């Protein structure tokens, strides 16, 4: 622990600043990470929630740094003292030297040292600026000009737990039985003689794994058509009145891996939803229709006629209408205003981003859940349709272990018959079998491959071809106004091959802001953070041709940028400063030549796609044009993992459109099933 404390206090030291502009800034500079209790929380993450391929290496390194020989081996001459016995543990090295050591790690030619710096910097800074006290406040917020949760929605709820531990699912058997009863479904409980653990069986028409923009659409469409639907969701349900709109609490409870998912080399930090509603519950509302050049590519180059059909256009119209997509905006945030004005002055194209909310919906906290339901995610649309139809139920806090299947007479391939679901019932882990006529996997591009592989599928494309829409930031004064309302396509290459970068703006809160900001010293970093409320952010998002592998996620996530992706991201960066034209050109030239992988700040991703891509040949794709897997009948995939390539724009409308089309294919299967004798499915025995 002493080496972790030493690193935390080197990143965020206590600095005496008697000439500070005000008392809050003086206290901020004086508050070290250890005084704030950050090392204990970081330690809890490392020993509890954190899942990464380098975790064991991180633990081993921290232990080595608690010894003199380990410190010398890792830190070199900077760790030595001028007095006998010369060698010191990291905790004994003066703070100034420790800062020099950390800075050398950030740009070290040794990959392991760069990994060490990136992982610890991200963890320490994110937790330091998001942890809260018993009043739900962080002592740094006043100094950096951050108001905390939306002032119009402030409520005194329990602070972020420390140390954090995963919360048990809220789906005890009694609650499940009651919810199923309201949906006209039954729950039969038997006792497994081998283990003595109660096992329940639910029978339905369709089981959907995942409640995001893919699964939510399928569930809503099928339930409205009169079919009994069970939605299995790994995340929890967060009602509006239960939201805290605190960054740390939302990350812990609504994001995959507490918002701390990264590629194996930590070169890309990944945000993905893990709650009822999936990404649609925590995204930035952007609702961009599938670009014409992408539809043409998927139709012509990949042979997928769906994307050139009237049916796809009609489906896109239907999902946009259900989400209330519109392009009006009454007030823009500082970030979007800067982007729009800058593009106008430079003669660059700039457009208003369609959103699934009203034009006067102002919320810089929608990435932590929508406070008033104004953002029409699946919880406010398709899942609501399912609930109001009386034909479906959501099981939150439940993990689909595998898809059940069996060989049946007259079928060349195994037939999916449901899923095995795990949840925590009190102190005991429980299992439920959900039997169905059709199974739909919609866990997202990170989790769907895992479910398919655990179910025995062996198609070589499952888990490969992952695209991330990599993002680089250019360094919002206020959070009022729509999070994302303006976009420029100046380097998007829409008129040629469609592989370029679009320029947009993010939501900005202290935790994520601090984790992405460059760190050169403790004092410099704290000075940068005092300008948090006066900093405008713009980012470039690339339609990547590079790809990754998630077959062993969450333990490992491999990803490599293509050389063209780096070029597109570098071309999308805007740098504005007071300088001569010659100085500006020199700066842009240097920035353009520096490889993204060698920078100390990570690339980011909020969109994952392509890991179970759709196609016309099982040798090059994981699912067929209807979304059904090549290896198993009645097992469909309906999420961003089916994208044949990277999309290049925010994917919510596209994934909902594909899911809507997949739901039509499932309806055809169910109609054929109902034609069986007596309305019963002779394959599964379900009526």
**What count of other Cβ atoms lies within 10 Å of the Cβ of residue 317?**
13
Region for 258 from its dihedrals, namely left if φ exceeds 0, alpha if ψ lies in -120 to 50, beta otherwise? left
Looking at the DSSP assignment, which residues form a beta bridge with residue 270? 261, 605
Give dist(CA 249, CA 184) in Å, integer: 35
The closest of 1, 30, 36 to 16, measured between CA atoms, is 30
Q: Could you list the beta-strand ranges (E) of 323-427.
A: 351-352, 392-395, 399-406, 415-425
Give dist(CA 54, CA 59) in Å, integer: 9
Radius of gyration of the chain (CA): 26
217 assigned to a ligand binding site: yes
Q: Are the C-beta atoms of residues 98 and 4 closer than 8 Å to each other?
A: no
210 assigned to a ligand binding site: yes
211 assigned to a ligand binding site: yes
219 assigned to a ligand binding site: yes
93 assigned to a ligand binding site: no
User: Of 238, 467, 537, 607, which residue is the catalytic one?
Assistant: 607
How many Å from the N-terminal Cα to the C-terminal Cα in the chain? Answer: 60
Q: ω before 423 within 30° of 0 (cis)?
A: no
204 assigned to a ligand binding site: yes
213 assigned to a ligand binding site: yes
Q: Are the C-beta atoms of residues 178 and 61 closer than 8 Å to each other?
A: no
214 assigned to a ligand binding site: yes
34 assigned to a ligand binding site: no
184 assigned to a ligand binding site: no
Q: Are the C-beta atoms of residues 366 and 507 closer than 8 Å to each other?
A: yes
Residues 642-670, buried b or exposed e (16+ Cβ, 10 A)?
bbbbbbbbbbbbbbbbbbbbbbbbbbebb
215 assigned to a ligand binding site: yes
The closest of 289, 284, 253, 257 to 270, measured between CA atoms, is 257
Containing H/E element for 38?
helix 38-47
DSSP 149-213: S-GGG----PPPPSS--PPPPS--HHHHHHHHHHTT--EEEEE-TTT--EEEEEE-SEEEE--ST
221 assigned to a ligand binding site: no
Containing H/E element for 316?
helix 310-323
472 assigned to a ligand binding site: no
Residue with tokens 């999916």: 416
The closest of 46, 63, 64 to 55, measured between CA atoms, is 46
Active site residue 227: no
665 assigned to a ligand binding site: no
Give dist(CA 100, CA 74) in Å, integer: 13
DSSP-derived secondary structure letter, 677: G
The residues carrying an active-site annotation are 607
Feature table: binding site: 204-219
Feature table: binding site for FAD: 204-219
């Amino acid at each position: 622990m002493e080496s972790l404390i030493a690193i935390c206090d080197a990143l965020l030291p206590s600095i005496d600043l008697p000439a500070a502009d005000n008392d809050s800034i003086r206290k901020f500079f004086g508050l070290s990470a250890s005084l704030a209790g950050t090392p204990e929380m970081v330690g809890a993450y490392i020993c509890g929630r954190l899942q990464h391929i380098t975790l064991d290496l991180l633990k081993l390194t921290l232990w080595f740094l608690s010894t003199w020989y380990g410190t010398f081996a890792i830190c070199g001459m900077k760790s030595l003292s001028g007095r006998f016995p010369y060698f010191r543990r990291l905790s004994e090295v003066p703070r100034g030297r420790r800062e020099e050591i950390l800075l050398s790690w950030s740009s070290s030619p040794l990959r392991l040292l760069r990994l060490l710096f990136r992982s610890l910097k991200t963890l320490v800074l994110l937790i330091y600026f998001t942890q809260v006290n018993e009043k739900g406040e962080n002592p740094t917020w006043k100094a950096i000009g951050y108001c905390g949760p939306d002032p119009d929605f402030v409520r005194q709820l329990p602070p972020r737990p420390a140390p954090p531990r995963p919360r048990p699912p809220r789906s005890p058997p009694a609650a499940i039985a009651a919810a199923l009863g309201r949906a006209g479904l039954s729950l039969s409980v038997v006792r497994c003689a081998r283990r003595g653990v109660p096992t329940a069986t639910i029978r339905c028409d369709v089981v959907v794994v995942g409640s995001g923009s893919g699964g939510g659409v399928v569930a809503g469409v099928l339930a409205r058509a009169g079919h009994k639907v069970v939605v299995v969701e790994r995340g929890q349900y967060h009602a509006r009145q239960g939201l805290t709109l605190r960054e740390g609490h939302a990350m812990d409870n609504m994001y995959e891996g507490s918002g701390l998912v990264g590629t194996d080399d930590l070169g890309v930090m990944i945000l993905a939803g893990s709650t009822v509603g999936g990404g649609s519950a925590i995204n930035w509302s952007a609702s961009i229709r599938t670009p014409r050049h992408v539809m043409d590519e998927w139709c012509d180059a990949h042979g997928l006629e769906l994307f050139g059909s009237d049916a796809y256009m009609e489906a896109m119209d239907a999902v946009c209408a259900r989400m209330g997509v519109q392009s009006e905006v009454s007030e823009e945030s500082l970030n979007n205003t800067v982007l729009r004005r800058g593009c106008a002055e430079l003669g660059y194209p700039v457009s208003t981003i369609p959103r699934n909310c009203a034009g006067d919906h102002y919320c810089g906290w929608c990435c932590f859940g929508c406070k008033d339901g104004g953002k029409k995610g699946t919880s406010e649309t398709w899942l609501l349709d399912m609930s109001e139809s009386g034909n479906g139920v959501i099981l939150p806090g439940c993990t689909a272990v595998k898809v059940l299947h069996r060989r049946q007479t007259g079928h060349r391939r195994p037939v999916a018959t449901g899923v095995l679901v795990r949840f925590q019932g009190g102190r005991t882990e429980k299992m439920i079998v959900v039997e169905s006529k059709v199974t739909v996997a919609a866990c997202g591009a990170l989790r769907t491959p895992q479910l398919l592989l655990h179910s025995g599928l062996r198609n070589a494309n499952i888990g490969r071809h992952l695209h991330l829409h990599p993002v680089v930031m250019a360094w919002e004064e206020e959070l009022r106004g729509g999070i994302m309302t303006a976009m420029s396509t100046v380097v998007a290459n829409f008129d040629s091959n469609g592989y370029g970068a679009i320029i947009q703006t993010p939501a900005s809160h202290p935790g994520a802001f601090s984790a992405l900001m460059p760190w050169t010293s403790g004092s410099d970093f704290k000075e940068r953070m005092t300008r948090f409320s006066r900093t405008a952010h713009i980012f470039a998002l690339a339609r990547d041709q590079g790809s990754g592998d998630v077959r062993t996620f969450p333990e490992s996530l491999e990803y490599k940028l293509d050389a063209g992706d780096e070029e597109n991201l570098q071309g999308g960066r805007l740098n504005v400063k007071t300088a001569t034209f010659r100085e500006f050109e020199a700066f842009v030239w240097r920035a353009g030549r520096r490889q993204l992988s060698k920078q100390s700040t990570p690339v980011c991703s909020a969109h994952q796609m392509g890991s179970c891509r759709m196609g016309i040949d099982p040798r090059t794709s994981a699912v067929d044009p209807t979304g059904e897997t090549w290896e198993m009948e009645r097992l469909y995939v309906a999420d961003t993992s089916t994208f044949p390539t990277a999309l290049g724009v925010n994917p919510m409308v596209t994934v909902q459109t594909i899911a809507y089309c997949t739901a039509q294919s499932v309806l055809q299967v169910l109609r054929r099933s109902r034609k069986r004798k007596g309305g019963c499915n002779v394959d599964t025995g379900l009526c």
